[in-house]
Amino acid sequence: MALGFWGTPVASHRFGDSLQPKFMAFLNEHYFKLKAGYLFPEIARRVRTFAEERPELAKSLIRCGIGDVTEPLPPSAISAMHQAINDLAHRETFRGYGPEQGYEFLRHAIAENDYRRRGIDIADDEIFVSDGSKCDCGNILDIFGHQNRVAIVDPVYPVYVDTNVMAGHTGPADKNGAYEGLLYLPCTRDNGFVPEIPARRVDLVYLCFPNNPTGAVATREQLSEWVQYALSSEAIIFFDAAYEAYITDPEIPHSIYEIVGAKNCAIEFRSFSKNGGFTGVRCGFTVLPKSLVALTSHGVKKELHPLWHRRFTTKFNGVSYPTQRGAEALYTVSGQEEVRSLIRHYLHNAEVLAKALRSAEFEVFGGRNAPYIWVKAPAGHNSWQVFDKILKDIQVVVTPGAGFGAEGEGYFRVSAFNSSANAEEAARRFTNLKW
Ligand code: MLT
């Protein structure tokens, strides 16, 4: 047996045919607990295989799988980004490194328009501009301890689970794919896909409304119950509001901070991907109120804000200047109108697709305040079977519900992110689908 650098014995293992001592870097073994692959690469793999086997059919493929936008960027963002490039072209207006946590002009526009104008007291420096909320949802774990009990909803956006697995916060997955150590909160047809408050206390809980994948929204009363739970158990809610722009019902809160007390128990994640069409441009933000505290292992309460700030300044160099100017332009009068028009476009697609699915006698959820439609698979079919059948029979790519967790089994998700022509054609094909 060899000794590692720190004197720990390291078992020998095989290199080719010879047994050699191990003097090399160790990897993060938690990655081996992850299931086959991230959901969307797995879908892409199956689609590629189908395209190789049936190239003539694959030509008419319509993608309603990953929630990726299809429409060009809003003109206000385009012209602001062009102007920003011009700024970079001249010595007098050139900018190098920007503030890691975002330029003041964008932090101010966000805090003012998304929060203060809606009566929510969020300061500019409680906004942290990033390259997107997927990254933030994963990175936020850097500032939390490994002792936390974590609750996630099921079905769930896989990033919340996988980043906890990678960070070593779970044991292995069981045969249903549920990880030891996580508390799963079922979201079912019976509870309207809004999780019930758990009977036991947890430290961290992920909520996402409007929900990916089910398209469900939470009412003010339901969010108030969650905030009360978090305050009384001193838990922290990670509130993913990436799809808030799709809320059309005036009674549904857009931000967790609309609920009294949430500034003491919630971190909110937002994105310009699904409102401004920035999936490729990359820009989002986290709201981390200065009032938010968590415990040291010695039982001392400390503010989280300085830790997140430290993380940003150490591990991130900020979003590019043209991107931040583009994001800022989304808050202008013209930018807001252009964003509303994009949202109307995708919500109209959702309506067309949901109507077609209903007429084909599917049970359909979501799609009203969200760009996702959650569909019950016909009895006797599991979600990957439905995925394969829809791909083979009508050349539409959907997302199998099982990819979002055990409670997603027996469902599939249809994304409304598409051109009108594709959404209408996919709707026409759904109506002709035979089981
Ligand atoms: C999805 O399809 O669930 C989303 O596109 C994923 C994401 O926004 O990262």
Ligand 1 atom with the smallest distance to the CA of 40 is 2
Q: Is 246 helix (H, G, I), strand (E, B) or coil?
A: helix
Instruction: Please report, for the chain, how many H helices and E strands are present, in that order.
Output: 12, 19
3-class DSSP assignment, residue 344: helix
The predicted pLDDT at position 7 comes to: 47
> Could you report how far apart the first and last alpha carbons of the chain are, in Å?
60
- Ligand 1 within 6 A of 212 CB? yes
The helix (run of H) or strand (run of E) holding residue 397 is strand 396-397
CA distance 398 to 404: 13
Name 184's Cβ contacts closer than 8 Å, sequence gap at least 6.
151, 152, 153, 154, 178, 405, 406, 407
- Measured between alpha carbons, how far is 128 from 126 in angstroms, rounded to an integer? 7
Q: Determine the pLDDT at residue 249.
A: 97
**Secondary structure of residue 293 in the 3-state scheme:** strand
Beta strands in 105-181 (DSSP E): 127-130, 150-154
Cβ 78 under 6 angstroms from ligand 1: no
* Residue to substitute in 66, 131, 211, 278 for testing ligand 1 pocket (most ligand atoms within 8 angstroms of CB): 66
pLDDT of residue 42: 84
The rounded Å distance from CA 54 to ligand 1 centre is 27
Tokens representing 389 are 């059948």
How much distance in Å is there from the Cα of 284 to the middle of ligand 1?
14
Tokens of 292: 């938010």
Give the pair of three-digit tokens for residue 5.
């650098």
Q: Determine if ligand 1 sits within 6 Å of the CB of residue 67.
A: yes
How does DSSP assign 166-199, residue by residue?
HTT-S--B-TTSPBTTEEEEE--TTTTT-PPPPS
Q: How confident is the model at residue 39, as a pLDDT?
A: 81
Tell which one of 43, 70, 157 to mutate to probe ligand 1, the residue whose CB is within 8 A of the most ligand atoms: 157
Looking at residue 35, what is its pLDDT? 82
**Which pLDDT belongs to residue 284?**
98
3-state secondary structure of 328: helix
C-alpha 68 to ligand 1 mean position (Å): 7
193: left (phi over 0), alpha (psi -120 to 50) or beta: left
- The amino acid present at 8, given as its one-letter code, is T
Ligand 1 closest atom vs CA 159: 9
Task: Give pLDDT, residue 18.
Answer: 57
Three-state SS for 22? coil
The pLDDT of residue 20 is: 62
- Residue 242 alpha carbon, nearest atom of ligand 1: 8
**Which H or E run contains 322?**
helix 321-329
**Closest to 220 measured CA to CA, from 235, 232, 209, 206:** 209
> How many Cβ atoms are within 10 Å of 253's Cβ, its own excluded?
21
Asked if residue 417 lies in contact with residue 273, where contact means CB atoms within 8 angstroms, the answer is no
Q: What is the pTM for the complete model shown? A: 0.94
pLDDT at 19: 59
> Ligand 1 centroid to 67 CA: how many Å?
5
Nearest CA residue ID for atom 8, ligand 1? 67
Mean pLDDT for back-to-back runs of 10 residues, the chain (435 residues):
46 54 88 82 91 95 96 98 98 98 98 98 98 97 97 97 97 92 98 97 97 98 98 98 98 98 98 98 98 97 98 97 98 98 98 97 97 97 95 97 95 98 98 90
pLDDT number for residue 21: 62
The atom of ligand 1 lying closest to the CA of 274 is 8
Q: What is the pLDDT of residue 1?
A: 42
